Structure 1
């Protein structure tokens, strides 16, 4: 599919579009290779919050307008904004923080996010895709975590998630050299889960999102959160959720529907209740 963009202002914007239970979230500043500005970060957080707060929405798909996912931060604008003491996303718990690192004061996303990346995907682009749950990459991607070239440190999760997915040596190779690598290398490192011909990445991401949206919403959220707890706190802590979550889900309307659909040999129609 081809998302229909709005005409963005000079500082860019985030477009949203609803397809059944899926929220498409589009990065829209193609004239600047989707370079990130403060208003774009705020709007992205608002879109992620809308996904979590709307019961009708079950999955998000993060994608981009134009030929590239993003060339990274618009450094002059971002630096000036942050030097004034401003935060790109408020830390008062009102909005979901898209990097999803769990820092104090920041709200975390509960629903699944699929990312579709293409072309140039630098710095914050890598961090946003690693913050998603599943990543589909076009075969023309160019990745680089190049903060050390600018005398800064990646602070949106790359230093943690690259090592988590690919091991210390592989993370250091790309973080410390600021080199450029392709979709095949990103796949090898487990940064992306699928590589498809350029132009098919959004269709594939949407297909995955729709498949997820067809499952029982409460079970999807519970499963996702348990995986994250296992990664962040360890397997023993994650097992503590097993019994209480199982009891809660078994008493849901969707659990009853799941049993009925099994007996009647038909697809289940879940409501999220």
Structure 2
């Protein structure tokens, strides 16, 4: 690996209002994830979680491709009996398969090639926008390993058992139309417009009451993880808590005055 690449940040972050832009930045390797990229991505998620001024994240990629998956030459030797630990102090696992949960929503814009951990990053996020020429593949079985970033859990949940097994057991690639059909992608847009559309959605989310957004996200996740009864039990207590916030008052004033609300997150 060249010294110049070693010095290059694998993740570029930028604050755009209340949105944290998180860019995969290894375009010369089709954004293949080496250990440095995984760690820096985890740190970016930690920044998103901790900063109260940040209300949503937007993950995107520099260059023509979202990601070619793991850089096995770099990651392979690091795998031990317990797997691999990619989360440094202050970070959060972007694939949400262990450790602290991210409480804020993430929008993802994908293009070009999106393999393995790229799909799993989509599955761990909340809204995905894909360029129409994007090619997807959950190809771990062709490399002698299994998806370990959540695809075995979330792919069947998102797409249905047969749709998930069709792709993760064969390792075949599929296009954006199929990704949209089975629910991995929420919008397919012309090539080159995926970032702008994803940013539009992230900014739309960030304009809403942040405590309400986080509570809504948390309750939906409880329903998926623990079942409807667990989520139902949380609804009234959560409503009562939110109704007492300054943002609830701001939202009510906006309703009556018909002026846009400017939420403060309290």
User: Do 2:14 and 2:20's aligned partners in 1 also have CA atoms closer than 8 Å?
Assistant: yes
Q: CA deviation at 1:215?
A: 0.4
Match of 2:75 among 75, 78, 81: 78
Once the two structures are superposed, the pairs formed by residues 194-273 of structure 1 within 5 Å of their partners are 194-273=187-266
Structure-2 residue corresponding to 1:87: 85
Gaps of 5+ in 2: none
State whether structure 2 residue 180 is matched by structure 1 residue 187: yes
User: Do 2:86 and 2:93's aligned partners in 1 also have CA atoms closer than 8 Å?
Assistant: no
SS of the aligned residue for 1:62 comes to strand
How many Å separate the matches in 1 of 2:191 and 2:81?
40
Structure-2 residue corresponding to 1:154: 147
Runs ≥4 residues deviating over 6 A: none
Match of 2:64 among 62, 67, 85: 67
SS of the aligned residue for 1:45 comes to helix
How many Å separate the matches in 2 of 1:173 and 1:260?
50
Match of 1:49 among 26, 46, 62: 46
- The TM-score, its normalising length taken from structure 2, stands at 0.95
Provide, for residues 173-195 of structure 1, a one-character-per-residue CA deviation record: whole Å limited to 9, x for no partner. Answer: 10111001000000001000000
Gaps of 5+ in 1: 1-6
SS of the aligned residue for 2:136 comes to strand
- The TM-score, its normalising length taken from structure 1, stands at 0.92
Structure-2 residue corresponding to 1:26: 23
Q: CA deviation at 1:81?
A: 2.0
Match of 1:138 among 131, 140, 143: 131
How many Å separate the matches in 2 of 1:152 and 1:84?
14
Provide, for residues 167-219 of structure 1, a one-character-per-residue CA deviation record: whole Å limited to 9, x for no partner. Answer: 11111110111001000000001000000011000000000001001100000
User: Do 2:142 and 2:171's aligned partners in 1 also have CA atoms closer than 8 Å?
Assistant: yes
Provide, for residues 95-115 of structure 1, a one-character-per-residue CA deviation record: whole Å limited to 9, x for no partner. Answer: 2110113x3xx1110000000
Q: How many residues align?
A: 262
User: Do 1:11 and 1:37's aligned partners in 2 also have CA atoms closer than 8 Å?
Assistant: no
How many Å separate the matches in 2 of 1:235 and 1:83?
38
How many Å separate the matches in 2 of 1:44 and 1:219?
26
How many Å separate the matches in 2 of 1:108 and 1:98?
9
Structure-2 residue corresponding to 1:4: none
User: Do 1:98 and 1:131's aligned partners in 2 also have CA atoms closer than 8 Å?
Assistant: yes
Structure-1 residue corresponding to 2:168: 175
How many Å separate the matches in 1 of 2:60 and 2:212?
25
SS of the aligned residue for 2:114 comes to strand
